[in-house]
Structure 1
Amino acid sequence: MNSKDKKYIFMFIFMFLGVIGTVQFKSILNNTKEKPSMAYEIENIMKELDSEKAIGNELREEIEFNSKKKESILKTFSSSNDDGLLTTKWEEAKLYAGFTNVKGDGVILTLNDAKEKNPIKSEYSLLHDSDIYEVVNELKKGGAQAISINNERIISTTEIMCAGPTIRVNKNRYAVPFEIKAIGDSKRLYYTFIESEIYSVLAYNNIRVDIKEATGIEIPKYNGNADNLVKGLEVVDK
């Protein structure tokens, strides 16, 4: 091998080492770039959450405005077309359906997860949608005339569903603690619940349960889109 061949070989080796070094340097540089901290990511998520809440509040206000506008139109129409009977029947229908704000005596329950989680059966230390569903059913058995969960009015089509660490009521998500209000005979509601099987189960699993009789409980009306409740239904004339 002559000296000229050796020069070409060395030149090729140096070029190869140079390429390898460049690639490694870029890789190290990329890995050492400062990544967003966990606190920064949480802050951004909280900002997004606040933004979504603001949008939700605006939509609620819009729904409330349109509902009042519709009520005004219906009242004007009914007052000009009958002797007040239609208006009375309409108000009664809304009351029965849960579309009016109501006030009365009853009970207030506050439910929360157990303070200390059971390491063997940790799922029993947490409240689930099925627990809330059974509590509501017991209140209905006790003669509850109006019920709300975290101020979400419970009506005939209300769904209580699991949504990860939260539950969904009327398509809105809520985390613990859950405040359940029920209007009716306060003593009957109280004793129906504390003598129920679900109360015993919750107490056995150290779920925090507080129930008290109260006067002047206010329960808001259903605030969802009522049109979606009857979408697809058709009245059948007999």
Structure 2
Amino acid sequence: MRRSGSKVIFSFVLLISGFLVAYSYQQTKNNAEVVQLSDQELEKDFYYRQQLINIEKENKELREEVEQKKADIQSMEGSLATQEQKVADYVEEKKHLQKLTGDLPVKGDGVQVTLKDSDYVPSEENVNQYIVHESHIHKVINELLSSGANAIAINGQRLYRDSYIACTGPVVTVDGVQHPAPFVITAIGDPDVLMPSLELTHGVVDQLVNDNVEVALEKKQTISLNARISEEG
């Protein structure tokens, strides 16, 4: 009887074990079916993954392109700034040259040089040796120009690049306009440079005094000279 009871118990244990194994297998099979994909679904999954990879690659390339464009724009802006500065410099240089040629009015500090005939003329001397000649005026003008004068006028009449000065008896003609003595020469420029250049030892002033010309120098704070009047106007 004991042996028969043991067999029954053993058979019951095997039955329960078999049932548990079968149940576990079935559950595992059912769970596997939840995640199992068909071939078509696998192809779609691969396609979408590949598309995502391509999009990420394109986004990276676009970001790199944007950064390159930013660098190019910065470079262009720097180049434009340099070009704008060059244009501004050219404009200023053009204005400066126009002032020198008389095409634009000019105003600034400068000096005034007054040349007068000698008040005393000995009776036995030639009077021409005691009056201002065009050579004296040329000496003053040349010295002023070499010292950096930007614009010069004689008795208020501005000199231009093509001006001419001629001595006609007791008067001096500037571009066809006659001017009697005294001759007031005004020059726009740095007075601290123009004045010493005229007063150099054995310089222009000394030479004029030796030629019996009376010379007076004066610094001027404001000198205004008009532009050339166009013949077409």
Pairwise TM-score range, normalised by the shorter structure: 0.5 to 0.7
Q: 1:202 aligns with which of 208, 213, 219?
A: 208
Q: Is the 8 A contact 2:99 2:151 kept in 1?
A: no
Superposition RMSD in Å? 2.9
In the TM superposition, residue 88 of structure 1 has moved relative to its aligned partner by 8.0
CA distance in 2, matches of 1:89, 1:201: 35
Are 2:180 and 1:175 equivalent residues in the alignment?
yes
Q: 1:99 aligns with which of 100, 103, 106?
A: 103
In structure 2, what is the equivalent of residue 213 of structure 1? 219
CA distance in 1, matches of 2:230, 2:144: 23
AA aligned opposite 2:118: A
CA distance in 2, matches of 1:171, 1:157: 12
CA distance in 2, matches of 1:163, 1:93: 32
In structure 2, what is the equivalent of residue 128 of structure 1? 133
Q: Is the 8 A contact 2:149 2:190 kept in 1?
A: yes
Structure with higher Rg: it is: 2
Task: Report sequence identity in percent.
Answer: 29
Unaligned runs of 5+ in 1: 1-83, 228-238
Q: Under a length normalisation based on structure 2, what TM-score does the superposition of the two structures give?
A: 0.55
In the TM superposition, residue 204 of structure 1 has moved relative to its aligned partner by 2.1
CA distance in 2, matches of 1:96, 1:111: 24
Unaligned runs of 5+ in 2: 1-87
In the TM superposition, residue 109 of structure 1 has moved relative to its aligned partner by 1.1
Which shifted more, 190-199 or 133-142? 190-199
AA aligned opposite 1:213: K
CA distance in 2, matches of 1:224, 1:177: 29
Q: Under a length normalisation based on structure 1, what TM-score does the superposition of the two structures give?
A: 0.54
In the TM superposition, residue 102 of structure 1 has moved relative to its aligned partner by 1.2
In structure 2, what is the equivalent of residue 110 of structure 1? 114
1:1-238 to 2 correspondence within 5 Å? 94-118=98-122, 119-195=124-200, 197-223=203-229, 225=231
